[in-house]
Chain A
Amino acid sequence: MARATQRSEVSGRTAGPPFVMAVPALVFFAVFALVPLGGVVVLSFMEWDGLASPQWAGLAKWEQTLADPVTRRAMWLTFVFTTVSYLFQAPVALLLGVFMAGSQRYRALLSVLYFLPLIFSAAAVGITFQSLLDPNFGLSRAFNSDLLGQNWLGNPDLALFVVVFVVAWCFVPLHSLLYQAGVRQIPAALYEAATLDGAGRLAQFAHITLPQLRYTIITSSTLMLVGSLTYFDLIFVLTGGGPGGATRILPLDMYLNGFRSYDMGQASAVAVILVVVGLALGLMLNRLSGASKMESQQEGL
């Protein structure tokens, strides 16, 4: 702290703007995030159907939630969904981002096209894909192909992966954009030096691009993992958690418990689990990567 003050006297910048400027944002955050969060924690110990007055249920609600086979399955599905989503989205986004970073004209044009899904609303994407994947009137009919006429969203073994694909279609553009910006910030001098040393394209990618993208990878991974953990709208429109609960991940389980079964206690308990796991995941990624230190990768350049 002392050093910071000292330095701020010198440069007049590093101490940052006065704390007062953060007050509006903090008040906003407290009123719309922390207070409801507290409400949810309290509700998770209550029996409430949305009509009668809430009754204190103590730990019973949590026991019920953790013993509910539907919620347990939802936990497992959330784990699978998050993992598969990450394994699918991360490499595609990275490669696409690196590709988009090139300065050729056609790449700029393609980048604009790749970017499009990002600006569509999730509900519209959901309804569109539902129609495209309709086994009778969808893609299969347009292209007259039986191969495309699969039971995409109706086969319990397939539906989750179809959902992973559609969600990836929506979010890969965002992450590609992050990587594109990250790649463009890498000084060209590094590549020139490597070329002089005789490094090939793959070697340059492995030894320059990837290490230089370290923080971009961490940011993108955090968004991807926490994002898929809490992702809701598109899946809700696309499958509603079906067929037979095959895509009922935790956020959907929470919603259906709360606003279909009107069991606000159990819905709140699931919400608390999501908040805790989401925060823990974000924090862990930050710690593991040492990103909180955020030292520069470009010293000496």
Chain B
Amino acid sequence: MSHIDIGKICEGTASRRSFLGISAASALTLGLTACEGGTQPGEDPDGAGSANVWILTGGMWPVISDSVSRWNEENPDQAISVEEFENDAYKERIRTAVGAGQAPTLVLSWGGGTLADYANNDQIIDLSGATGDLEERLLPSVALNGQVNGTTYAVPVNDVQPVVLFYNRDLFAEHGLEVPETYEDMLAVSDEFQRHDVLPFALAGASVWPELKWIQYLTDRIGGPEAFQAVLDGEPDAWSHPAFMAATTRIQELVEAGAFGDNYASVAADQNADLALVHTGRAAMVLWLSSAYATFRNDAPEFTETSLGWTTFPTVDGGEGDAGNIVGNPANVFSVSAAASEREQNAALGWIGERLYDDTQIEEMIAAGAVPPVQGIADRLAESENGEFLSYSYDLASAAPHFQLSWDQALAPGPAQELLTNLSQVFLMQITPEQFVDNMNATL
């Protein structure tokens, strides 16, 4: 009978892991919430009252880790310990940790809805006036992202990532086309490229979030940032703002015109299959975070050198939004946990005030091809190895009247998921713009 036991183990673990995993996690955190006020992180005998921070792996995070190490060398009595997490693992872990009063001293988040949740539950502290001169040095459009109802609860930590329209210069030259500047241009260029068997826009629809960039830019160009601000303010029927209807209608117009081809819903962003379409000359344009530049440089250095172009999102005729507005990821942000002891909080605030975006960090970030959200570094960026593109993103971010955080981060988690589901259905032509508006109004 041993073969049956093997069977149970092999298939059983895979399937059982899902529901037992979730139940174990819930029950565990339920237990932890119950003993809130028990062991605080600071009283842990091993931690001996030292501050700690959880950061992510990859990207600009080694730079942050270096910065903390430098702080620790100079301030051994206020040392901050660093732990690294993979992105998804972090997101799942941090929320339960914060909810259970077991958060690290510095709480990393993406701003928006999650930050507001933390602030409203008094799980992070008010940082107004506590971070030295940092606030004056930051780009205003990025610093805003750390505020909840006008109070500063978080400071940015890494690089600015506006969404820009990347394009393949060779393809435009080959077919004698101009880079689109208006929505009408986009439709016209789409037609032309399709006649030459070139995919106009690469889109990783399987990952859904790249579709957000489209609705965000279209809505902003048509109705300005006020439309989505009303949603964030929770005004009743805020999604009925005409800009949302107009944006989703145009999305479906683009889909029907074949601007994204037929197979966009099968393309996933995880392995950069959408960017690969552009640098292999099969697609003409892609709307992506500025971090795509690093991927292009890595995967196709020659193409990046000679043929990669970038521009801002086209305008929409009669639209009210400022053409300088951008969407994207202003930066990740750090908050200070309210559950930490005063000693730990002081260590964290000390590091933020003295070390965050100091000269060394700015230098390391620029060398790594990232743009720190700090004022007055235009010259340093221009002189760097990737000067042309870095200066472009920097100018875009510093001149932007409004920098819209990704909607899925800006909204509370529940509505954010509804948005992603409904948006993918808009792109699949499964629901009409009217249904999109109704479904989203129901989440307010």
Contacts and interface: CB of A to CB of B under 8 A. Distances in A.
Interface of A: 32-33, 35-40, 42-43, 49-54, 70, 118, 122, 127, 130-131, 133-137, 149-156, 171, 174-175, 177-178, 181, 219-220, 223, 226-227, 229-233, 239-240, 242-245, 251, 254-256, 258-264, 267-268, 271, 274-275
Contacts of B359: none
A156 B425 CA distance: 10
Contact of A32 (B24, B99, B268, B413): B24
Contacts of A219: 4, 7
A37 B313 CA distance: 50
Given A137-B273, A245-B425, A52 B99 contact: yes
B118 interface: yes
Nearest to A257: B417
6 contacts: A40-B26, A52-B121, A151-B266, A229-B15, A242-B206, A275-B19
A70 to B, nearest CB: 7
A255 B22 contact: yes
B337 to A, nearest CB: 13
Given A232-B18, A260-B417, 20 more contacts: A36-B27, A40-B27, A51-B95, A54-B30, A118-B10, A127-B271, A154-B206, A154-B263, A175-B7, A223-B8, A227-B12, A231-B14, A231-B15, A232-B14, A233-B14, A240-B206, A242-B208, A243-B265, A261-B413, A268-B26
B117 interface: yes
Given A51-B117, A244-B424, A271 B267 contact: no
A258 B18 CA distance: 12
B50 interface: no
A130 B428 CA distance: 19
B223 interface: no
Contact of A50 (B10, B20, B95, B206): B95
B251 to A, nearest CB: 14
- The 10 closest A-B CB pairs, nearest first, are A154-B265, A39-B27, A154-B266, A232-B18, A135-B263, A36-B23, A230-B15, A40-B23, A36-B27, A51-B99
A262 B413 contact: yes
B95 to A, nearest CB: 5
A50 B99 contact: yes
A244 B15 contact: no
B74 interface: no
Contacts of A53: 33
Contacts of B14: 122, 227, 231-233
A134 B26 contact: no
B42 interface: no
Contacts of A171: 11
A240 to B, nearest CB: 8
Given A43-B26, A70-B421, A259-B92, A271 B19 contact: yes
Contacts of A271: 19, 22-23
A134 B266 contact: yes
B180 to A, nearest CB: 22
Contacts of A136: 263, 267, 273, 276-277, 282
B247 to A, nearest CB: 18
A226 B12 CA distance: 9
Interface string B83-116: 0000000001001101100000000000000000
Contacts of B206: 130, 153-154, 239-240, 242-243
B81 interface: no
Contacts, number: 186
B26 A178 contact: no
Given A219-B4, A231-B14, A49 B117 contact: yes
B123 interface: yes
Nearest to B16: A230
Interface string B198-210: 0000000111100
Majority secondary structure of chain B interface residues (helix, strand, loop or mixed): helix
A54 B421 contact: no
A227 B18 contact: no
A151 B421 contact: no
B174 interface: no
B38 interface: no
- Residue of A40, A51, A155, A274 ringed by the most chain B CB atoms within 10 A: A51
A115 to B, nearest CB: 11
A137 B276 contact: yes
Given A35-B27, A43-B26, A51-B121, A260 B413 contact: yes
A233 B21 CA distance: 12
Contacts of A230: 15-16, 18-19
Interface string B262-304: 1111111011010011000010000000000000000000000
B29 interface: yes
A174 B11 contact: yes
A39 B23 CA distance: 7
A263 B16 CA distance: 21
Contacts of A50: 29, 95-96, 99
A233 B15 CA distance: 8
- Residue of B123, B277, B428 ringed by the most chain A CB atoms within 10 A: B428
Given A154-B205, A178-B4, A242-B208, A251 B11 contact: no
B19 A151 contact: no
A126 to B, nearest CB: 10
B277 to A, nearest CB: 6
Contacts of B207: 240
Contacts of A256: 417
Contacts of B117: 49, 51
B17 interface: yes
Contacts of A255: 18, 22
Contacts of A259: 22, 92
A61 B122 CA distance: 26
Interface in B178-211: 205-208
A73 to B, nearest CB: 11
Given A36-B23, A54-B33, A226 B15 contact: yes
Given A244-B424, A251-B18, A177 B417 contact: no
